[in-house]
Amino acid sequence: MNKGRILLKLVMDEAGLQLILDRFSQRLILQKKFYLLQLTGLDLGYRYNWYLKGRYSPALTRDAFYLQEEIEAGEKDYEEYALTEASKTKAEQAKTIWETPKCPDIDDGDWLELLASLHYLKHIAYWPGKKKTEFDDVFARMVAAKPHFSDKSALAKMAWEQLKELGLIDKKTLS
């Protein structure tokens, strides 16, 4: 098990993430949570591209599958390592970023998609011409790529406000 996958395992454990990759929806949630987790400043080196289902890191998918195989084969190298206190704190912070509101109109996957997409489009995505940074501009851009969110403006605004309260609208990361 290489050190990158050891770190992946330790961070997953600290953030309360399960390494369950059987269904596509589970892999999407893992992708979204790791994107949001890295916003705490705990940079695991995963870089994201805009993909059909939002931000996607091929390296994260590859590492997650390798890690799953290694654990199933009985490898336990990660037991010899521990996260620093600073890393533990950042993994804990991630839980507040992706906290789903008490709202019957949204499931965890869609909530994570709103959070991660709004952040990505505001701070990372290339926009030809003048970059738009207000909610309406970013939401319109998201709906253009993800029309199924066109009737979710109120929920997207809640996600935007959550990101704003955490300081992630004004800055790319919490660090």
Q: DSSP letters of 83-145?
A: --HHHHHHHHHHHHHSPPPS-TT--HHHHHHHHHHHHHHHHTS--SSSPP-SHHHHHHHHHHH
42 pLDDT more than 80: yes
pLDDT at 53: 66
Which tens digits make up the pLDDT trace of 84-142? 999 999 999 999 898 888 776 788 888 999 999 999 999 888 777 766 678 999 999 89
Which residue(s) pair with 50 in the sheet? 55
Q: What is the mean pLDDT of the chain?
A: 90
Q: Residue 116 in contact with residue 35, Cβ under 8 Å?
A: yes
pLDDT at 62: 96
Does pTM surpass 0.85?
Answer: yes
pLDDT at 47: 93
